[in-house]
Amino acid sequence: MTYVINAHLRRHDTYRSWFELRDTDHIVRHSIADPADIEFVPTTHGEMTSADLRQHIVATPDSLHWDCFSFGVIQRADSFTFYASIDHLHADGQFVGVGLMEFQSMYTALIMGEPPIGLSEAGSYVDFCVRQHEYTSALTVDSPEVRAWIDFAEINNGTFPEFPLPLGDPSVRCGGDLLSMMLMDEQQTQRFESACMAANARFIGGMLACIAIAIHELTGADTYFGITPKDIRTPADLMTQGWFTGQIPVTVPVAGLSFNEIARIAQTSFDTGADLAKVPFERVVELSPSLRRPQPLFPW
């Protein structure tokens, strides 16, 4: 497993650079020229309770440190669990499908006594960042993508829409928790998707319609304003690890409309806003200083 982890770290160039924030005016950029200089070694921690293990994993440094990622093996008598704790600076949702497959396929080959498998070209996250910087640097306040973001933000008090229900005092720091719940089984999901298609929408349009209807019923709001993520990889980036997640603003009117009508409108809003995912809202704020960056999702 040590070989697999080091092969992964050396394969993806996102792990070869980091930032050091000395003060608001001085950001030091570090890079590692030779991937072979990255070498993780295993450390034995002995027996740990669930609480100890949890604390160990969440102690992984944050994105202001190079080592904002850690890997481990939880060994049991007859099985083990491999985990990867990686800051979003280096990974998005694609890692679940591609990155973990990379670990599994390489590990399986090695324990079967086979040589390391040949993986598809990893691409370059650095190249993506350069392309994104060139693209966003060419934008102006009059660029259509920027104007669309500005129009959306101005309707929402100059920033992203806030959660529509009261969440207590936002200035009070608090912890969070994860809640998993199955809303639909496989058959229900298929029926829902069929209903979306019958409305000339796709699953995402129907899902946004349901959110809009729920918020309308809970708050009385006639229009739903939301933000939804979108992967912005090109075909050349499919195997590349990094943060390729953009955001799309969606506007969905609800009052007096049927589900089919709402789903179609939501789908159109999603599709027409797809190119906006390539424009970070932070860049829009730079071009239009009257806007405000959104509050952190996890302020604690």
Does pTM top 0.85 for this prediction?
A: yes
Q: Are residues 78 and 199 in the same domain?
A: no
pLDDT at 297: 64
Q: Does residue 298 lie within any of the structural domains? A: no
The C-alpha atoms of residue 91 and residue 85 are separated, in whole angstroms, by 10
Expressed as residue numbers, the domain containing 46 is 2-119
Burial class (CB in 10 A: 0-12, 13-18, 19+), 251: buried
SS3 14: helix
Report yes or no: 204 and 211 within 8 Å, Cβ to Cβ. no
In degrees, to the nearest 5, what angle opens at C-alpha 262 toward C-alphas 259 and 268?
A: 140
Q: What is the pLDDT of residue 155?
A: 97
Residue 275's nearest CA partner among 246, 235, 298 is: 246
Spatial distance between the Cα atoms of 123 and 144, rounded to a whole number of angstroms: 30
Centre a 10 Å sphere on the Cβ of residue 122 and count the other Cβ atoms it contains. Answer: 18
Domains of the chain: total: 2
Same domain flag for 30 and 91: yes
Look at the block and give the residue holding tokens 């740990």. Answer: 48
Q: Quick one: 148 and 227 in the same domain?
A: yes
Asked whether residue 90 falls in the same domain as residue 202, the answer is: no
Q: How far is CA 62 from the centre of its chain?
A: 16
Q: What is the CATH number of the domain that holds 106?
A: 3.30.559.10
In terms of domains, do 141 and 107 share one?
A: no
Residue 171: the pLDDT is 78
Place of tokens 């924030």: 21
Report yes or no on 296 lying in a domain. Answer: no
In a domain, residue 67? The reply is yes
142 lies in the same domain as 256: yes
Beta strands in 40-197 (DSSP E): 69-75, 80-86
In a domain, 295, yes or no: no
pLDDT at 228: 96
φ and ψ at residue 132, rounded to 5 degrees = -65, -40
Same domain, 46 and 93: yes
Same domain, 191 and 213: yes
Q: What is the CATH number of the domain that holds 274?
A: 3.30.559.30
Residues 50 and 80 in one domain: yes
137 and 48 within one domain:
no
Instruction: Let me know whether 134 and 260 are in one domain.
Output: yes
Let me know whether 9 and 104 are in one domain. Answer: yes
Please name which of 77, 7, 5 lies closest in space to residue 42, comparing C-alpha atoms.
Answer: 5
In order along its 300 residues, the chain shows pLDDT tens digits of 999 999 999 999 999 998 888 887 888 999 999 999 999 999 999 999 999 999 999 999 988 889 999 999 999 999 999 999 999 999 998 888 888 899 999 999 999 999 999 888 999 999 999 999 999 999 999 999 999 999 999 999 999 999 888 888 877 877 777 788 999 999 999 999 999 999 999 999 999 999 999 999 999 999 999 999 999 999 989 999 999 999 999 999 999 999 999 999 999 999 999 999 999 999 999 999 999 999 876 554
